[in-house]
Amino acid sequence: MYSTASESVAADQRRRGAESPSAPEGAGPSPATEGESETFREAESTTRQRVLQLVVEEGPISAAALGRELKLTAAAVRRHLDAMTEQGILEVKNVTTRRRGAGRPSRRYVVSERGQRSLGDDYLGLVQTALTMLQSAAAPTTEDSHVTGPTPETARGLAREYFAGFEQRWERQLEGVSDLDARADRLSQLFAEDGFAGFTRLVGRDNPLLAMQSTQLCQGHCPIREIAAAHPVFCEEETDMISRLLDVDVRRLSTQAAGAHVCTTHVPVGREKLAAEQRARAAASAEAEQQISAGAGATNESRAANGGRKRIVISPRQQERLS
């Protein structure tokens, strides 16, 4: 999946080899040197993949933030960032924050278009589905019918067909996960497993107002971003799929097809928890009222059995006084 990043590791190795003193003529590398070199290359490749994955998930992100997340020195992180930037996998965004004011802007790294392509594109299945649907849309219904082109709803139908496969598989994986937070987190894992680089961000969790707490379901990679850019209905259908899988109304905040670095979907976890609490209180109140009504009904039935008259119990002493 990160073949381009792995190639950059090999390029670094060749460059370091060219700068190092040459070995005596006719003398091959020792087995120990070969083993150490292979171990070093594997370690470098793994680290570079980790750096790239974090940029995919958190970009735009600074070298300092990457170092903190990966527990690496700034020099080690910049070496990987510089190599991937030189190859065109990453690109630099200069960001001026309020804290920095009018000073020097901060360098933040994001995945470039080339880097997105290196992560892989899922066009084969989509094209096969498209050909089938276009053929069906263009096929004549009778012998006298003329062959026509695809209908205006073809793109939407294609999007539905494309995401239907994901929805059917993921729905089974989400069975039994009722908590909305856990369900959103599990869905992000399913997105990641199918090449969308899914992850979640918790928003407003320290806010005392429960309704302000939410989860952002993010996708750091979109395998069909170019098609979605030309046909936004793909993003709309994907959003609808997320809403059905989470069983809650969601809202799309950003998409890569529209130029963002991450596709972000707002999941109103706090609002749903608050609504659930209100429903539980309303149900408890209704049950209490039903019990009270049932008790009042029993009393009325007792009165009706006695002709509607109130029964008065008199003690023997009171009866003597009355007589």
Tell me which range, 106-120, 243-257, 263-277, is most confidently predicted by mean pLDDT. Answer: 243-257
Is the pLDDT at 322 greater than 60? The verdict is yes
Query: Cβ distance 125 to 153 under 8 Å?
Result: no
Is the pLDDT at 311 greater than 70? The verdict is no
In 3D, which of 45, 64, 60, 69 has the Cα closest to residue 91? 60
Q: Place 307 in a pLDDT band, splitting at 50, 70 and 90.
A: low
What is the predicted pLDDT for the residue at 30? Answer: 54
What is the overall mean pLDDT for the chain? 77
Of residues 51 and 29, more confidently modeled: 51
Q: Place 300 in a pLDDT band, splitting at 50, 70 and 90.
A: low
Q: Place 255 in a pLDDT band, splitting at 50, 70 and 90.
A: very high
What is the predicted pLDDT for the residue at 187? Answer: 97
Of residues 278 and 44, more confidently modeled: 278
CA 278 and chain centroid, separation: 28
- The Cα–Cα gap between 153 and 159 comes to 10
What is the predicted pLDDT for the residue at 149? Answer: 46
By DSSP bridging, strand 198-203 and strand 214-219 are antiparallel
Within 8 A by CB and 6+ apart from 256, the residues are 116, 219, 221, 222, 225, 228, 262, 263
Of residues 121 and 233, more confidently modeled: 233
138 phi, psi to nearest 5 deg? -90, -10
Is the pLDDT at 235 greater than 80? The verdict is yes
Query: Cβ distance 66 to 53 under 8 Å?
Result: no
pLDDT 10s digits, 109-160: 888 877 876 676 666 566 667 756 666 665 555 555 554 444 557 788 888 9
pLDDT 10s digits, 76-86: 888 899 988 88
Of 44-48, 232-236, 289-293, minimum mean pLDDT range:
44-48
What is the predicted pLDDT for the residue at 121? Answer: 62
Is the pLDDT at 18 greater than 70? The verdict is no
What is the predicted pLDDT for the residue at 245? Answer: 97
What is the predicted pLDDT for the residue at 239? Answer: 97
What is the predicted pLDDT for the residue at 52? Answer: 85
Is the pLDDT at 177 greater than 90? The verdict is yes
Of 20-34, 73-87, 260-274, 289-303, minimum mean pLDDT range:
20-34
- The Cα–Cα gap between 186 and 170 comes to 9
Query: Cβ distance 14 to 37 under 8 Å?
Result: no
Query: Cβ distance 257 to 222 under 8 Å?
Result: yes
Q: How many residues does the chain have?
A: 323
Q: Place 2 in a pLDDT band, splitting at 50, 70 and 90.
A: very low
| Residue 183 CB coordination number (10 Å) | 20
Per the omega criterion (within 30 degrees of 0), is the bond before 60 cis? Answer: yes
Rounded average pLDDT over 218-235: 89
Q: Place 247 in a pLDDT band, splitting at 50, 70 and 90.
A: very high
pLDDT 10s digits, 188-219: 999 999 889 899 999 999 988 988 999 999 99
